[in-house]
């Protein structure tokens, strides 16, 4: 058992529905142990800013379980491992400020940290733990692509939002006899597209794990028309790419984007069918977490405090149904969890006649 009495909590990387539920669970369960809890604003930025570290008590986290976003703010810029420093000649040099972060946390009297984040934030947490920080990670990402946990919170809410959108597209697609192509998030993994695509009964689902062939996609579209169903729904993960090709990035940016338009244009060119495309974008990260994610987030938050109490640092809470337990942070960041090609949801899609682009 630990002698720790003052802990910190922060949220890093892109937001995901359920962050506030984790914060509430951390605060309430730690308060019940008689500890003090401090929130660090905007990932680690708050450590170096006036009023950037705030005391969190029961009152501060009242009524936030159902709220999207994060009361602490977040950022996916300013990685302390690659801190940009402007040189006299105007050039930018990157330095590792990890030790400064660890020292600043100690200066604030924080003895252990609950770091809530995705792959980037957990990599930072792991690095900070090698510098002596007592840290426990909580896995967050709507992409569900973190190894060592069967689910991240936020994922099922994103699937719900995307499934709802696909459902709504059916009626307008049918009314106009069109092909609707919807682009969903998922940089390197097709979890959201696969789950929402199957649940929303899309005709074609394109994911990064299966490079697609336009011949296969257009054949499926033509089959729809031939069978008298004169509309089609195509779901494409933002990271999907054609056989022999590469993922698409927005012009002059490191952000993925453009797959829906490319696929829609090509379907129109090859089949002559009227097509429309849309990008669901950050809608998938917004809004209130669904019950599944609220519960998972609350379980994760309480489990993180439990790990601190047991002195199990350098770990991450993970869902391994039916339990939540701690795994080494290095296992969590060792590799990305993509969709296994033999997974039952892939097999379900194929059995239902859904085209996966191959
Ligand atoms: O990692 C989650 C994610 O939602 C990705 O699917 C997406 O590519 C990315 O974040 C977008 O992040 P942002 O627009 O915040 O940089």
Per-residue pLDDT, 83: 84
The string over 277-316, giving b where at least 16 C-beta atoms fall within 10 Å of a residue's C-beta and e elsewhere, is: bebbeeebbebebbebbbebbbbbbbbbbbbbbeebbbbb
Q: What is the C-alpha separation between 258 and 264, in angstroms, rounded?
A: 10
Which residue from 79, 185, 189, 336 has its CB within 8 A of the most atoms of ligand 1, so it is best to mutate? Answer: 185
Residues 334-347 pLDDT 10s: 999 999 999 999 99
**Confidence band, pLDDT 50/70/90 cuts, at residue 99:** very high
Can you tell me the mean pLDDT for 323-330?
Answer: 96
**In this structure, are residues 45 and 80 in contact, taking their beta carbons and an 8 Å threshold?**
no
At residue 343, the pLDDT reads 96
- Residue with tokens 């590792």, as numbered in its chain: 96
Res 159: pLDDT: 98
Q: What is the mean pLDDT of the chain?
A: 96
Instruction: Report the atom number in ligand 1 closest to the C-alpha of 15.
Output: 15
Ranking 50-54, 92-96, 107-111, 143-147 by mean pLDDT, the lowest is 92-96
Q: What is the pLDDT of residue 248?
A: 92
Q: Is the pLDDT of residue 77 over 90?
A: no
Domain with CATH 3.40.50.450 in the chain: 6-153+289-321
What pLDDT is stored for residue 190 in this prediction?
98
With 80 as the cut, is the pLDDT of residue 326 above it?
yes
pLDDT at 19: 98
Residue 273 has what pLDDT?
98
Q: In angstroms, rounded to a whole number, what is the distance separating the alpha carbons of residues 199 and 192?
A: 10
Of all atoms in ligand 1, which is nearest to the CA of residue 192? 6
Torsion over CA of 136, 138, 141 and 146, rounded to 10 degrees?
Answer: 70
Residue 188 to residues 40, 71, 145, 337, 348, Cα–Cα distance (Å): 29, 28, 8, 9, 21
Dist. CA 222 → ligand 1 center (Å): 33
Q: Whose CA is nearest to atom 10 of ligand 1?
A: 14
Mutate to test the pocket of ligand 1, among 16, 70, 119, 143 (most ligand atoms within 8 A of CB): 143
State mean pLDDT over 43-56.
95
CA distance 257 to 246: 12
Q: Which residues are catalytic?
A: 143
pLDDT exceeds 80 at position 53: yes
> Is the pLDDT at 1 greater than 80, yes or no?
no
User: How high is the pLDDT of residue 84?
Assistant: 84
Mean pLDDT across 104-124: 96
CA dihedral (281, 18, 140, 157) in degrees, to 10, reads -50
Top mutation candidate among 187, 189, 236, 282 for ligand 1, by most atoms within 8 Å of CB = 187
Which residues contact residue 77 at a Cβ distance below 8 angstroms, ignoring those fewer than 6 apart?
none
- State residue 78's pLDDT score: 72
Say if residue 261's pLDDT is above 90.
yes
Pairing outcome for strands 83-86 and 53-56: unpaired
Q: Where in the chain is the domain with CATH 3.40.50.460?
A: 156-286+341-351
pLDDT at 201 over 80: yes
Question: Which of 11-15, 79-83, 204-208, 328-332 bottoms out in mean pLDDT, i.e. has the lowest?
Answer: 79-83
User: If you classify domain 6-153+289-321 with CATH, what class do you get?
Assistant: alpha beta
Q: Ligand 1: residues within 6 Å at CB?
A: 14, 76, 118, 141-143, 185-187, 238, 256, 285
| Average pLDDT over every residue of 50-62 | 97
Portion of the chain with pLDDT greater than 90, in percent: 93
How far apart CA 194 and CA 209 sit, in angstroms, is 11
* Helix, strand, coil shares, percent, the chain, to 5: 40, 20, 40
Domain 156-286+341-351, what architecture? 3-Layer(aba) Sandwich (3.40)
233 pLDDT tier (thresholds 50, 70, 90): very high
Q: Tell whether the model's pLDDT for residue 283 goes beyond 90.
A: yes
Give the nearest ligand 1 atom to 142 CA.
2
What secondary structure letter does DSSP report for 289?
P
β-pairing verdict for 53-56 and 36-40: antiparallel
Mean pLDDT of 136-152: 96
Query: Would the pLDDT of 252 be above 90?
Result: no
Q: Is the pLDDT of residue 116 over 80?
A: yes
């Amino acid at each position: 058992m630990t002698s720790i009495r003052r802990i910190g909590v922060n949220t890093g990387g892109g937001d995901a529905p359920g962050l506030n539920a984790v914060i509430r669970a951390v605060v309430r369960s730690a308060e019940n142990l008689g500890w003090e809890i401090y929130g660090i604003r905007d990932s680690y930025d708050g450590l170096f800013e006036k009023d950037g570290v705030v005391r969190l008590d029961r009152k501060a986290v009242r009524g936030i379980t159902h709220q999207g976003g994060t009361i602490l703010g977040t950022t996916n810029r300013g990685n302390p491992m690659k801190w940009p420093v402007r040189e006299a000649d105007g050039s930018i040099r990157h330095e590792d400020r990890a030790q400064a972060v660890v020292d600043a946390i100690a200066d604030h009297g924080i003895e252990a940290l609950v770091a809530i984040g995705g792959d980037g934030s957990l990599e930072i947490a792991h690095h900070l733990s090698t510098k002596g920080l007592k840290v426990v990670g909580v896995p967050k990402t709507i992409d569900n692509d973190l190894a060592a946990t069967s689910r991240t919170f936020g994922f099922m809410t994103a699937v719900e939002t995307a499934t709802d959108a696909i459902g709504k597209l059916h009626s307008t697609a049918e009314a106009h006899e069109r092909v609707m192509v919807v682009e969903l998030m998922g940089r390197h993994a097709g979890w959201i597209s696969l789950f929402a695509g199957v649940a929303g009964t899309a005709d074609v689902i394109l994911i990064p794990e299966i490079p697609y062939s336009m011949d296969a996609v257009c054949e499926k579209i033509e089959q729809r028309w031939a069978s008298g169903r004169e509309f089609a729904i195509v779901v494409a993960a933002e990271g999907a790419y054609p056989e022999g090709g590469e993922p698409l990035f927005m012009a002059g940016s490191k952000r993925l984007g453009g797959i829906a338009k490319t696929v829609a244009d090509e379907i129109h060119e090859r089949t002559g069918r009227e097509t429309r495309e849309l990008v669901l974008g950050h809608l998938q990260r917004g809004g209130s977490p669904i019950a599944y994610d609220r519960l998972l987030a609350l379980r994760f938050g309480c489990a993180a405090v439990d790990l601190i109490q047991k002195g199990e640092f350098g770990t991450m809470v993970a869902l391994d149904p039916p339990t939540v337990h701690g795994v080494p942070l290095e296992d969590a960041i060792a590799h990305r969890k993509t969709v296994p090609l033999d997974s039952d949801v892939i097999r379900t899609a194929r059995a239902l006649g859904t085209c996966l682009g191959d």
